[in-house]
Amino acid sequence: MIELVYLRDLVIILGSGVIIVTVFHKLGLPAIAGFIFSGVLVGPQGFGFINDIHQVEILAEFGVALLLFGIGMELSLEKLRRLWKLIVVGGVLQVGLSVLAAFAVSKAFNVPGNSALFIGFLLALSSTAIVMRGLQQRGEIDAPHGRLILGILVFQDFSVVPMMLAIPILVGTDILADVYLVTILQAVGIIVAVLLAALLVVPRILNIIAKTRQRQLFILSVFLICIGTAWLITSSGASLAIGAFIAGLVVAGSEYRHQALADLISFREVFSSLFFVSIGMLLAPSLIVDNMFPILAILIAILVGKFVIVFVAAKVLRMPLRVCMMTAVALAQIGEFSFVLLFAVQGSGLIDKTLESNLISAAILSMFVTPFAMSFGPRLAAGLGKLPRLRRQLEVEMAEDATSSVLKMRDHVIVGGYGFAGRELSKALTDYEIPHVIVDLNIENVSKASQEGVNAFFGDVTNQNVLLKLGAEYAGELILLINDPGAAEQAVRVARELAPGLHIVVRTHYLLDIQPILAAGADDVVPAEREAAVEVTSLVLNRHQVESQLIADHSLKIRNQTEEDS
């Protein structure tokens, strides 16, 4: 029976995934790499436990759709609006330079112009699924490099639409100009209609459904919006995954986004894992052995070329060295949408069969090494940041003007990060005439602080030279209010090495971040997760007229308990 074979395949996939990812976890290796490796083992090119991967690919595509739907819900249209500069400038530079570079290299090897341009399309795209999954697991989506990565990925994903529309021209299919124009207008019209629905229709529908208080009906409605919107978007020429991403943006505009995300997450994790397994199934170890040198040459060219291009794009946006490095490392691979483009031209002869096979192998290998590269990225950035000559050549002049203004300061406070918490802390320090300086990677924040009369400087607080210029050796306190736990940990280590007696306080989001940061040398770590629990509990107990001293005691109990748990 076909159904039993299908179930057997699922058992093999999930079973191998559980075993191998568990082993990878014990070895400290990324889970995504484990799923890809399990796909290599059980697939037709490995031990052959699964020979027909067509059904798996269908589930995998659904998994990517759910993954991007969830990412869209976490973003919202408002957040995309705030990232417009990173999306437009960073995306145009990265995609444009990647296409041009790939085209030029391909032409140098006598590849026809239309094929060379298509190869540029393939190599310009990075893996939204792998990179965003990695950022989510590391809690770095709101970090400076996380926002830049997200902006570039969003532009890449939307670039797939014109790339798909260009395929008939590259293949040489006769297509009338008016038909092509109608297709483009139809695509734009559908996307505009969906965005209008995000503002006007979907929130009202979800409000009606939520009032029924039927959880299963709410889940069904969320799936309907996800799949229905994705289907509409795909009719415009985009892929299912892009449609699901836009659907997530639609739901994010409602007040029920968090409930929808909570209901979806278990489905998303299972099906997105199938995607990584299916990618591994496409890899043929024997083919790699037979064509080792050309595949490795293509792989190295992809990783190095995209690293350099993304790094340049980040530097044009005046990002510091650490952000440039982390972004370039994360986006140096080929993405899942490249396979969508490849499948669209199969049988057309646009790309030579041998070259196509080598490209697929190199692309999958680039995806496999990405989780390892992302975990190694912070150490690489920290190491290169210590090279004075490289820093002088590549870095924005960070805190260069700080020397004269802080030279006479003693026992002052250095505040890393000028978001809401940084602004409020700065106001309090100013009110009580406590000398302090601000350092931030966000140029707009630094500009705003300077206009308000605050001693603020553009700089990377993880950089030893920056901390020296801010007088860390003579400061009384260092307060870190940045949204990157890895950067906070690195900053603590650098600051502790410079000034062993410096009192260091770190604000972080999660309880899991406490121990690594304390181990790095921080004196106090304030997790927002804990403080939110304290505040909510205090408000509820206060409404029930519990005595203030008892509330204070209970708040202290929560703080002590979370410290023990961490």
Report the pLDDT value the prediction gives residue 509, as an integer from 0 to 100.
Answer: 81
Q: Are residues 296 and 323 in the same domain?
A: yes
**Domain containing residue 521:** 402-565
Q: Are 53 and 43 in contact (CB under 8 A)?
A: yes
Under DSSP, the state recorded for 505 is E
Q: Are 272 and 66 in contact (CB under 8 A)?
A: yes
Q: Are residues 198 and 270 in the same domain?
A: yes
Under DSSP, the state recorded for 52 is -
Last residue of a domain, one of 368, 389, 410: 389
Last residue of a domain, one of 341, 363, 389: 389
Domains held by the chain: number: 2
Q: Which helix or strand (DSSP H or E) is residue 413 part of?
A: strand 413-416
* Of 169, 175, 110, nearest in space to 348 by CA: 169
Please enumerate in sequence order all residues whose Cβ is within 8 A of that of 107, keeping only pairs 6 or more positions apart, or say none: 113, 116
Residue at 29 is within a domain: yes
Q: Is 46 exposed, middle or buried (0-12, 13-18, 19+ CB in 10 A)?
A: buried
Phi, psi dihedrals of residue 458, rounded to the nearest 5°: -80, 120
Q: Are residues 161 and 220 in the same domain?
A: yes
Q: Are 341 and 164 in contact (CB under 8 A)?
A: yes
pTM of the shown model: 0.69
Q: Please give the biggest Cα pair distance in the chain.
A: 82
Report the pLDDT value the prediction gives residue 392, as an integer from 0 to 100.
Answer: 47
Calculate the CA dihedral of residues 237, 165, 78, 154 and round it to 10 degrees. 110
Kindly report the CATH number assigned to the domain that includes residue 184. Answer: 1.20.1530.20
Q: How far apart are CA 265 and CA 278, in angstroms?
A: 20
Q: Are residues 374 and 442 in the same domain?
A: no
SS3 category, 28 = coil
Q: Over the chain (566 residues), what is each successive 10-residue block's mean pLDDT?
A: 66 85 79 83 81 66 69 68 82 93 90 89 88 75 81 85 79 60 66 69 77 78 75 66 72 67 66 76 82 91 93 86 85 85 78 86 87 75 54 45 62 88 90 88 74 81 83 90 83 91 89 85 87 82 83 77 58
Report the pLDDT value the prediction gives residue 289, as an integer from 0 to 100.
Answer: 84
DSSP class per residue in 412-471: -EEEE--SHHHHHHHHHHHHTT--EEEEES-HHHHHHHHHTT--EEE--TT-HHHHHHTT
Q: Are residues 101 and 243 in the same domain?
A: yes
Report the pLDDT value the prediction gives residue 443, as an integer from 0 to 100.
Answer: 65
Last residue of a domain, one of 389, 421, 441: 389
* Of 398, 388, 415, nearest in space to 481 by CA: 415
Q: How far apart are CA 13 and CA 63, in angstroms?
A: 14
Please enumerate in sequence order all residues whose Cβ is within 8 A of that of 181, keeping only pairs 6 or more positions apart, or say none: none
Kindly report the CATH number assigned to the domain that includes residue 453. Answer: 3.40.50.720
Report the pLDDT value the prediction gives residue 557, as an integer from 0 to 100.
Answer: 79
* Of 495, 558, 496, 487, nearest in space to 527 by CA: 558
* Of 335, 313, 440, 322, nearest in space to 377 by CA: 322
- The length of the chain is 566
Q: Are 38 and 259 in contact (CB under 8 A)?
A: no
Q: Are residues 441 and 480 in the same domain?
A: yes
